[in-house]
Structure 1
Amino acid sequence: MAMSVKQDGDDEAVPISDINTTPLVDVMLVLLIIFLITVPVVLQTIPIKLPAVRYETTQTKPENVSLTVRGGPAGVCEVYWNMTKLSSTELLDRAVAKLKAEVDKVGGVQNITEENMPEAHIRGDINTPYRCIGGAIYTMQLAGFARVGFISQPGGAPAARL
């Protein structure tokens, strides 16, 4: 290892105390090039893979509401309560009546617990616009249903790419 020295006024060799920045600049340029090459590889762009869904078994109770939502012709949303097709106002009225009947059945609001509170289960077609499913969720929550969940099919086809 060599040491850089300079001549002093007394013809005496004095070590240079300045830091040699050339190796530091070389290392930084190499790191910059590595990051410029690897960052675009790490970033994902438009082609996405939807996250895997963890399936939990649901307890089907008679007081639960089963809704099916799909997009109809000309972008019209279709909502079915079991097998009966309903409009959004009919869905709200029927949901309020169902919740009131369940509350009366347990003896009033003070007797409602997590176990006897009815839930709304929504099954949505894969091609259904979100506004249709979102409208059904909003309507059920507006009616008073605190628990609204989705029913999906385990082991289905891979998610569609957008």
Structure 2
Amino acid sequence: MALSGGSDDGSPMMEMNMTPLIDVLLVLLIMFIITIPVATHAVNIDLPAPSNTPDQPPVDPIKNKIVLTPTDQILWNGQAINDNQLVGNLQQSLTYAVEPELQFEPEANASYDLSARVLNIIKASGVTKFGFVGNEKYRQFDCGGCAPVAN
């Protein structure tokens, strides 16, 4: 690094030239910024893998019904299945030329957690003909002996 001086009379220079030092530091800073890996944010979801078990209930090409029971069972057209079988049935239903209707009916005391999990699986499968059925059973609310409200 060169030293710079104020006079040209042959006396020694007393100040250091900072320009080359700053240039080298800026180049190093840029190299460090470029080599830092880009931070990516991802949400990993573990979906159940479909299983091809022979005891899997058949998929009706017209209409299929999923019922959730209070004992945390998933019933596909009346037969108990697990999450993997549900994924397999949903994928099989999408292979038909005309997608069959999928009806969803949780029973009165079915687990909310199970309902949310099954609905997430259905949503991830890409099923488009989907509907909630059986809601008419809950049209009249029974408060279990509460006093009527006077108008």
**Structure ranking higher in helix proportion:** 1
TM-score (normalised: structure 2): 0.47
TM-score (normalised: structure 1): 0.45
Q: Per chain length, whose mean CA-contact separation is higher, i.e. which structure has more relative contact order (CA < 8 Å, sep 6+)?
A: 1
